[in-house]
Chain A
Amino acid sequence: MDNIAGTKSSLTWAVHISVVVLVAMWVLPTLGLFVSSFRTGDQIVGSGWWQSLTTQEQQLSPIRIEGDETETNGAFVIEGNLFGNARTTISSWGTSSREPEAYEPGQTAELGDGVTVTVQADGGYVLSSPVTTAGERLPRIFASATTPPEFTTDNYKTVLFSPLAGQTIFQAFMNTATVAIPATIIPILIAAFAAYALAWMEFPGRALLVAAIVGLLVVPLQLALIPLLQFHNWLGIGKGYLGIWMAHTGFGLPLAIYLLRNYMVGLPRDIIENAKVDGATDFQIFTKIILPLSFPALASFAIFQFLWTWNDLLVALVFLGTGNDQQVLTGNLVNLMGSRGGDWEILSASAFVSIAVPLLVFFALQRFLVRGLLAGSVK
């Protein structure tokens, strides 16, 4: 803007830096959880996610020695490695929680009764005892070790396929899709016909109806919960998918009608009048001309409604049951936050499963979303 007059602003650098800071503030929270979802529980608790790309020195949780005994030269020996991988390096270790850094790697610790244990830097250990240790509790090793960056997809396997809080995330995912897809498609058709009538047909009370819809846009759906639950019970459908589809349809209609009407009003009058002169009925005009031309507006509303129904918690809590076959992702996540609040490896992976679809939709169809926002905010 400032270049119009031919002078380059001296603020350019400040602008670039400010935008970098802003973007960082808006991206890093999500990135933090994303990175965490690929770390093991120990790693998440041991260090901040921002350190996950550097080699870490940390106190590992105690590891108990285990393995098969072999008898050599009158001593019973157990050999093995503390770690599954070969990349962790021990810097110091001990055999009690009071002195976790008593020994250097390669040193030998005396455990009394002639039992000795030696731990190498790569985690390899040798436990040697003059009598058999079968059936006894073997000592634990407390080690401080440097661990190179390591990522795992196990968290996702865990949350997707093993039931946590009673239900697998995969099932919750399917439930959410079951709620969101019909609840997105059904209102579109109803709204499109209504919007056409409000935009292009003359009848008394039209202005009043438009005003009513603008008013209904902001009515909090909190008011609808109990009366509608009573209504659904009276109908005999109670809590279930049918009820939530109907509820989402009702709640989504004002925005749908408003968006579509605003868009349809802007379509060129000539096309519609020409079609009328040629003998087309309103029904034909609607299906053959208006509907195809309104595709951008239909797409924006569909995205809105999909994001809203997918992300919704309140309506799902009220109109769906809490059984495994009905609980949705957001509800499951809230339960997990209550029951597994500290298990970040589970929480972060579950959260990302629930965020993934909306994010995909968002990045793929962003331009429709922006257009819808611009048309939908009441001017």
Chain B
Amino acid sequence: MNPAIQALLTILIGVGGCLFYFYGSNLVLDKVLFPPRGPNAGRNINRANQIRPWLFLLPAIIALGLYLAYPVFATAWLSLNRQTGASSTFVGFANYSRMMSEDKFWESMTNNMLWLIVVPAASTAFGLLAAQLTDRIKWGNIAKSLIFMPMAISFVGASVIWKLIYDTKPADQAQIGALNAIWMNFDGGIGSVLLLKVLPALLLLIIIGGLGWLAWSMLRPILRGSEDRGGLFLMLLRLIVVAVSAWLIFTLARMLAGVFVADLPYGQPQTWLSLPFWNNFFLMAVLVWIQTGFAMVILSAALRGVPEDTIEAAIIDGANPFQIFFKIKVPQIMGTIVVVWTTITIVVLKVFDIVLAMTNGQWETQVLANYMYDKLFRANDWGVGSASAMVIMLLVTPILVWNVYNARKEMR
């Protein structure tokens, strides 16, 4: 049968079946099981109303249970078994230890950590910048919709788009990749030093400063010993943030030194996607490009929600635009920034298409989701594949708990 006809039939059967189920089950409930008349009319109405919600929910619960909840447990079980042919044997944590002994796994973990820090931070920062800037100008809405546009493009499509930018031709031919075309203009003169050494150094210094400030503001309440600002959980969270930022400051300081020491290969076209370590950032750029629009839209709505009088008061007190932005607006939309950050974090954890399409994990760019796909469908090693899927689940869990906690708080 032609798939198009099959699709049409499925729509008809699916939609018709749903309607028939909902209508029919309600009819049976009202007319046959508990008719609202006769001697027990009142009791019947109550009973029918107790059952009806479950009739409405049943298809959704079945689908969710079968397609999302059950697989979590099934995958957990698979990760504890070893598949040999058609039979499987319980091997405990052997798959996990096998996975841990693989270099490729640790490479994926380190890369994923990099992705988890860089992509949400850069997307949120660019999104905030775009939201704030476009809010003030007449053509802001057009600008917004253009920055938002990559959201509609598939990860694979975006990979093709960016692969053209990273394209490399031999030195004696015209460069058709934009990045190499720009790169070939640098010759090691004063302009190159300013743009490729001084500017990155300044940026790094700003980021280091920001991280230092963040770490200090997290550490201060603990050092003061004030216990009233949250329990053990919050304290732990603060310490984690401090540790991560300390590690980041250390890494960035090393990069800062590297920027000045590095002997850049001017005049040589670079194959960007196989430059070890840096190629990760070229892949991240694709996701940042896609996700910035999302961050911008949400943050722009939040910025509009900032009460006018707080801003007016600040202006009257003589605050300059930067102070208004960082001291009045940003603190008031902190909650939204966290939401945007966590949402992008989840996208990053699942990132797969970009790496598969651009490098397929070669040249030390492997990430967890692609590692998992490799194990499951190329190596056919379900044990290790499921184990790495469980690692992704484990990394998502804090966000899951946090979201559920907040949703419950809101419902009360």
- A residues in contact (CB < 8 Å) with B: 1-2, 4-5, 9, 11-12, 15-16, 18-19, 22-23, 26-30, 32-33, 36, 44-50, 58, 174-175, 177-178, 181-182, 185-186, 189-191, 193-194, 196-198, 201-203, 206-207, 209-228, 230-231, 241-242, 245-247, 249-251, 253-254, 257, 281-283, 286, 307, 310-314, 317-318, 325-326, 329-330, 333-334, 337, 344, 347-348, 350-351, 354-355, 358-359, 361-363, 366, 369-370, 373-374, 377-379
Contact = CB atoms under 8 A, between A and B. Distances in A.
Contact of B153 (A50, A58, A355): A355
Given A210-B407, A231-B66, A246-B67, A185 B350 contact: no
B163 to A, nearest CB: 7
B268 interface: no
Contacts of A217: 403
Interface of B: 3-4, 6-7, 10-11, 14-15, 18-19, 22-23, 26, 30, 49-50, 52-54, 56-57, 59-61, 63-64, 66-72, 74-75, 78, 126, 129-130, 133-137, 139-140, 143, 145-157, 159-165, 167, 169, 174-178, 181, 289, 292-294, 297-298, 301, 308, 311-312, 315-316, 321, 324, 335, 339-340, 342-343, 346, 349-350, 352-353, 356-357, 369, 372-373, 376-377, 382, 385-386, 389-390, 392-393, 396, 399-400, 403-404, 406-408, 410-411
Contacts of A326: 3
Nearest to A197: B56
From DSSP, what is the main secondary structure of chain B's interface residues?
A: helix
A245 B54 CA distance: 24
A212 B69 CA distance: 10
A373 B294 contact: yes
12 contacts: A1-B311, A27-B149, A32-B165, A217-B403, A257-B60, A282-B26, A282-B49, A329-B154, A359-B153, A362-B149, A374-B301, A378-B403
Contact of B164 (A11, A32, A363): A32
Contact of A227 (B18, B71, B410): B71
Given A29-B161, A58-B174, A363 B145 contact: yes
Contact of B19 (A29, A189, A378): A189
- Name the 5 nearest CB pairs between A and B, nearest first: A250-B67, A311-B154, A227-B74, A194-B60, A362-B152
A348 to B, nearest CB: 7
Contacts, number: 359
Given A194-B60, A211-B404, A283-B22, 16 more contacts: A4-B312, A16-B137, A26-B146, A32-B178, A46-B174, A47-B176, A58-B174, A178-B7, A201-B49, A201-B52, A212-B69, A222-B389, A226-B386, A251-B67, A313-B156, A359-B152
